[in-house]
Amino acid sequence: MPQIGPYKLANQVALAPMAGVTDLPFRRLCAQMGAGLVVSEMISSNPRLRDSRKTTWRSVHDAEVEPRSVQIAGSEPAELAAAARYNVAQGAQIIVSNMGCPAKNVCKKAAGSALLADEPLVKNILTAVVAAVTVPVTLKIRTGAAPDARNGVTIARIAEDAGVAALAVHGRTRACKFEGQAEYDTIAAIVAATDFPVYANGDIDSPARAAQVLAQTGAAGVMVGRAAQGRPWLCGQIAAHLAGEPVVPVPADEQLAILRRHLQAVHDFYGEFMGVRIARKHVGWYLQDQPDYRARRTAFNGLQTPAEQLQQIDLLFNTDFNKELAA
């Protein structure tokens, strides 16, 4: 099984950090359902933002499933080093440096995957962050800034030389965003060029695909992102398949029970006002495979209290939804 510093992980499957998705309630649920590693949402290294509501929510580390893996983002080596120390003091057991986010609002600040175009800065950041803390530091990247500027192998070697303990690679460039096919050949080249654990990320949406990606890349593990939205059981199913165990389907009644538990955790964590609003997007992902998806999502989005949301879940997952809505 993959090992990051002193932490030997339970299996080969990690949940990818996704801003606005992998909050504490979702991470805990995915871990309970079999993810071997979960990672926090991106936390800015800017100390002026530490008291903001968003950063405060993202910085609750004491309720995490161990090992507590916390992702930080920024572009200034000293500021990122200070952010790493701060989050370790708050309970982080692994620090993740984000150089993989392709979002425009992150890259315009020369952070996230924008950093891949500046190899000396990457080296300076990683050297500073590794030196700042005693816990393992890992790195999340893409394969380069653009298809004609793929430097994932070089970045990986820089990271390993700086003392980074593990690497996750999304198999697309910054410019590709989420379009096209993931570059598993590039990930394989990175695995071949380094000795630390590498997680393959990108388009891993089923147990069979995960096994195929591991065979093609030689990676130590897989990292599951968007496919887990509305399917917190997916990481566990993939882990079972990779371990040679049967993949147990999640029947509709059990999915409903999981969603209820998720909703309650969201309400408890964020409070009534924000909890109701944040629950809407998560329920939308659970509903995405239902018939009349848009009508069901619109109906749920009109609900205004936690009690209403919990009461209406059964109706939204009922095959006679339209009949009951019209009654």
Residues 192-216 pLDDT 10s: 999 999 999 999 999 999 999 999 9
pLDDT at 326: 40
Confidence tier at 277 by pLDDT (50, 70, 90):
very high
List the chain domain ranges: 3-242, 252-326
Q: Does the structure show a pLDDT above 90 at 56?
A: no
pTM: 0.91
pLDDT at 111: 63
Q: Which residues of 199-219 are buried (b: 16+ CB within 10 A; e: fewer)?
A: bbbbbbebbebbeebbeebeb
- What contacts 190, CB < 8 A, 6 or more positions away? 152, 153, 156, 167, 169, 198
The answer to whether 90 and 61 are in contact (CB under 8 A) is: yes
Homologous superfamily of 3-242: Aldolase class I (3.20.20.70)
Mean pLDDT of 229-234: 96
Confidence tier at 112 by pLDDT (50, 70, 90):
confident
- 176 is annotated as an active-site residue: no
Q: Which residues of 245-267 are buried (b: 16+ CB within 10 A; e: fewer)?
A: eeeeebeeeebbebbeebbbbbb
Task: Report which of residues 316 and 270 the model is more confident about.
Answer: 270
Confidence tier at 52 by pLDDT (50, 70, 90):
low
Q: Does the structure show a pLDDT above 90 at 152?
A: yes
| Strand residues in 101-213 grouped as ranges (E) | 137-142, 166-170, 198-201
Mean pLDDT of 173-184: 86
Task: Report which of residues 63 and 72 the model is more confident about.
Answer: 72
Residue 105 to residues 35, 99, 267: CA-CA distances in angstroms? 29, 14, 28
Among residues 327, 228, 224, 244, the alpha carbon closest in space to that of 285 is found at: 228
pLDDT at 19: 87
Mean pLDDT of 246-254: 92
Mean pLDDT of 1-29: 94
Q: Which of 101, 107, 176, 235 is catalytic?
A: 101
* Position 199, amino acid: Y
Among residues 152, 138, 137, the alpha carbon closest in space to that of 182 is found at: 152
Residue in the block written with tokens 């009949």:
323
Confidence tier at 324 by pLDDT (50, 70, 90):
very low
Classify domain 252-326 by CATH architecture. Answer: Orthogonal Bundle (1.10)
Taking every pair of C-alpha atoms in the chain, what is the biggest distance, in angstroms? 66
pLDDT tens readout for residues 154-168: 999 999 999 999 999
Distance of alpha carbon 226 from alpha carbon 209, whole angstroms: 14
Tokens of 290: 């239902």
Distance of alpha carbon 314 from alpha carbon 327, whole angstroms: 16
